[in-house]
């Protein structure tokens, strides 16, 4: 399934780097290891990996700052791994554009399942039968995972896009936060379902910046929907 996809593993603990590398290479991923954030951005531009496994507490440039910088130019999937297990840290990692968050110590098998799920969702989007859908002044191209208003791209992170696409495909139907968390993360997410509120807030801001007619509407006391 992975087609020799390239994964960056950024962690200052050699034992963890080597363990993740072992499991990734068993499934034919190509792996590049980093023990700090020092050269990650430069190599990211040069090598264009397909996914990053990123520790938060690393020397030089920490994982959160790396994520901020990467998200300025790329929507490449990012999986955080961290000894920080507080809800605040998990939510912050996801708010900054992380696609998943695993607390140390973690099972390398679970990490592999989550990585496979990310690539599976991306591949499903590429093979979508419907090329695009237009709602109001917004067009969403499923194969390219691209959202545009009259040719101007609405730059969304992976999770923002997945939430937006799901609401577009189910326009007119309201969903509560727990339903949306289950649809977007696809597993039993540990943490507040109000992470959805933050995703919605960020998508709304980007729609407003483009002066779009399309709105994600709040269904008071329940959740969210997009009207046709």
Domain boundaries of the chain, sorted by first residue: 6-125, 128-225
Residues 6+ apart with CB under 8 A from 198: 91, 94, 95
Per-residue pLDDT at 139: 94
Angle at 73 between CA 159 and CA 75, to 5 degrees: 25
Global pTM value: 0.64
Fold classification of 6-125 is Rossmann fold (3.40.50)
Rounded distance between C-alpha atoms, residue 120 and residue 143, angstroms = 14
Residues composing the chain:
228
Rounded distance between C-alpha atoms, residue 127 and residue 45, angstroms = 27
Residues with pLDDT less than 50, the chain: none
Cβ(90)–Cβ(194) below 8 Å: no
Closest among 207, 211, 109, 192 to 154, alpha carbons compared = 207
List, for residues 63-72, the tens digit of each pLDDT value: 999 999 999 8
Measured in whole angstroms, the distance separating CA 204 from the mean position of its chain's CA atoms is: 17
Per-residue pLDDT at 131: 76
**Domain with residues 128-225, CATH architecture:** Orthogonal Bundle (1.10)
CA quadruple 133, 138, 141, 142: dihedral, nearest 10: -70
* Token representation of residue 78: 């990012």
Residues 6+ apart with CB under 8 A from 16: 55, 81, 104
Rounded alpha-carbon distances, angstroms, from residue 41 to 11, 18, 51, 111, 121: 14, 21, 13, 23, 25
Domain 6-125 and domain 128-225 have a common topology: no
Per-residue pLDDT at 95: 83
Residues 6+ apart with CB under 8 A from 123: 1
User: DSSP secondary-structure letter at 83?
Assistant: S
Per-residue pLDDT at 21: 97
Cβ(29)–Cβ(5) below 8 Å: yes
Residues 6+ apart with CB under 8 A from 168: 133, 135, 140, 226
Per-residue pLDDT at 81: 93
Per-residue pLDDT at 88: 80
């Amino acid at each position: 399934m992975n087609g020799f996809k390239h994964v960056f593993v950024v962690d200052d603990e050699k034992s963890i780097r080597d363990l993740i590398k072992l499991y990734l290479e068993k499934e034919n991923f190509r792996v590049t290891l980093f023990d700090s954030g020092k050269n990650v951005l430069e190599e990211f531009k040069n090598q264009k990996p397909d996914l990053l496994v990123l520790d938060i507490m690393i020397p030089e440039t920490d994982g959160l700052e790396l994520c901020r910088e990467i998200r300025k130019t790329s929507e490449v999937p990012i999986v955080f791994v961290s000894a920080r297990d507080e809800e605040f840290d998990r939510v912050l990692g996801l708010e900054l554009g992380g696609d998943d968050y695993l607390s140390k110590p973690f099972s390398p098998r679970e990490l592999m399942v989550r990585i496979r799920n990310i690539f599976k969702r991306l591949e499903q989007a590429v093979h979508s039968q419907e090329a695009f859908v237009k709602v109001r002044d917004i067009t969403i191209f499923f194969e390219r995972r691209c959202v545009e208003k009259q040719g101007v791209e609405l730059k969304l992170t992976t999770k923002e896009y997945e939430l937006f696409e799901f609401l577009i495909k189910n326009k007119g139907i309201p969903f509560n936060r727990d339903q949306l968390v289950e649809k977007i993360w696809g597993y039993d997410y540990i943490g507040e379902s109000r992470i959805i509120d933050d995703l919605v807030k960020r998508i709304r801001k980007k729609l407003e910046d483009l002066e779009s007619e399309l709105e994600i509407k709040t269904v008071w006391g329940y959740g969210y929907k997009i009207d046709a």
